[in-house]
Amino acid sequence: MVRLQEEVRRLEAETLALLAKTDTLDGIRDLKVKVLGKKGTLTALLRQMGSLPPQERPLMGQIVNEARNKLEQAWNERERLLEERILQERLEGERVDVTLPGFRFPEGHLHPLSQIIEEIEDIFLGMGFEIAEGPEIETDYYNFEALNLPKEHPARDMQDSFYISEEILLRSQTSPVQIRTMERQHPRLPVKIIAPGKVYRKDDDATHSPMFHQVEGLFVDRGIRMSDLKGVLLNFSRQMFGADREIRLRPSFFPFTEPSAEVDVSCMLCGGAGCRVCKGTGWLEILGSGMVHPKVLAMGGYDPREVTGFAFGMGAERVAMLKYGIEDMRLMFDNDLRFLRQF
């Protein structure tokens, strides 16, 4: 019995030493089978118990079981340790440089004018305006005459237009859409539209382009006042240029409005204190406007004694230049990708 006992002790010590040296999961599994398996060395020792006198057997059984438990525990410990180590190694091996750039989805860019026009549209849609359209190539009638600009009217000199024939030209303003919309909608009220689109004039320098974009506005109904014009444009200016903007109206002249007003917005760069952009005045001219001239209402089919209306027109390029700080209008039609990809 003493010999058997010593053998168990020796086996236990040997196995523990071996286990500590084994550092693969397969290795320790093999070792487990070799010692604790059905044909394992410890199991074999247990079988030899039969040769002991019966009174020694329980003690011996206890010794072997203790060894077995101890080994199993050590084995479990070792397995856990190895698994942990393997996981650590894997994590270490899978480390990436998180500062490298991620997958590149190509991004496109809306033209700044599209963005501005969409923004203007959304603001006026929010105020219940609809979007109207009209042809870019227009008749003299819609572009001028119906807008209270008869032939030989000196105000025609305000704009130099591109002509296709004596009676057909590239529209020099979006205002013809006023007449077309009133004609189409008559006699329904209100007429409440904005009309964005391309217009053409014979100018070409840093602040003028032979083609540019205007957004026209028209609101005709019973009892429309000039103060309503100011209210709508103030709302627009604040949404477009910032909640703390103010606007002011200044007398002006357009053949198709009476009274007419130039609209200035307080400078968004200096807040009205005066800077280079607003030339020290604190104000920036953004659009022309006024009460629709009675002759224009009549041309559109409405009775100027029953309805009044206001109209306005702004240059989308001008708005974009102010909003994005673009100094030369020609950049917008030059289409250099380095410029466009900023937007």
Is residue 55 close enough to count as binding other proteins by CB under 8 A?
no
Please identify which residue in 98, 165, 205, 325 interacts with other proteins, judged by CB under 8 A.
165
Question: Shortest gap between Cβ of 250 and other proteins (angstroms)?
Answer: 6
**DSSP codes of every residue in 31-77:** HHHHHHSTTSHHHHHHHGGGGS-TTTHHHHHHHHHHHHHHHHHHHHH
Of 272, 269, 250, 270, the C-alpha closest to 261 is 250
**Interatomic CA distance for residues 125 and 312, integer angstroms:** 16
Number of residues located near other proteins, criterion CB under 8 A = 87
Compare residues 38 and 151 and give the one whose CB is closer to other proteins.
Answer: 151
Q: Judged by CB under 8 A, does residue 342 bind other proteins?
A: no
Site for other proteins (CB under 8 A): which residue of 17, 168, 206, 269? 168
Q: Is 162 exposed, middle or buried (0-12, 13-18, 19+ CB in 10 A)?
A: middle
Which member of 34, 57, 248, 330 binds other proteins (CB under 8 A)?
Answer: 248
Q: Pattern 123-162, binding to other proteins, x per CB under 8 A? A: -xxxxxxxx---xxxxx------------xxxx-xx---x
Under the binding rule (CB under 8 A), the answer on residue 37 touching other proteins is no
Residue 256 binding other proteins, by CB under 8 A = no
**In the stretch 277-316, what mask flags binding to other proteins with x, by CB under 8 A?**
--------------x-xx-------------x--------
CB of 88 to other proteins, least distance (A): 27
* 320, two tokens: 């974009």
Omega prior to 176 cis, within 30 of 0:
no
- CA 114, 120, 125, 126 torsion-angle sign: positive
Binds other proteins by CB under 8 A, chosen from 147, 170, 195, 267: 170
Q: Which stretch binds other proteins (CB under 8 A): 38-46, 54-62, 63-71, 190-198?
A: 190-198
Tell me which residue of 318, 337, 96 sits closest to 214, measured CA to CA. 318
Pairing of strands 211-221, 137-139: unpaired
Compute the distance between CA of residue 49 and CA of residue 65 in angstroms, rounded to an integer.
12
Minimum CB–partner distance for residue 241 and other proteins (Å): 15
Q: Give the interface segment with other proteins, choosing from 9-17, 69-77, 79-87, 111-119 (CB under 8 A).
A: 111-119
Q: Residue 339 CB, nearest distance to other proteins (Å)?
A: 10
Where in 201-294 does DSSP place strands (E)?
A: 211-221, 247-254, 257-266, 283-292
Q: Which has the closest alpha carbon to 181: 222, 156, 147?
A: 147
Contacts of 306 by beta carbon, 8 Å cutoff, 6+ apart: 222
* Residue whose tokens read 């005459």: 145
Stretch that binds other proteins, among 36-44, 80-88, 164-172, 265-273 (CB under 8 A): 164-172
Q: Which is nearer to other proteins, 15 or 143 (CB)?
A: 143
Min separation Cβ 135 and other proteins, Å: 6
* Position 330 contacts other proteins (CB under 8 A): no
Decide whether 60 or 329 has the Cβ nearer to other proteins.
329
Does position 328 bind other proteins by CB under 8 A?
no
- The least CB distance from residue 118 to other proteins, in Å, is 7
| Three-class secondary structure of residue 157 per DSSP | helix
Question: The tokens of 181 are what?
Answer: 């919309």
- The footprint of other proteins on residues 203-242 (CB under 8 A) is 204, 210-211, 219, 221-228, 230-232, 234
Q: Is 276 in the site for other proteins (CB under 8 A)?
A: no
Query: What minimum distance in Å lies between the beta carbon of 287 and other proteins?
Result: 14
Number of Cα atoms under 13 Å in the Cβ half of residue 81? 13
User: Cα–Cα distance between 162 and 201 in angstroms, integer?
Assistant: 6
**Phi then psi dihedrals of residue 286, to 5 deg:** -120, -25
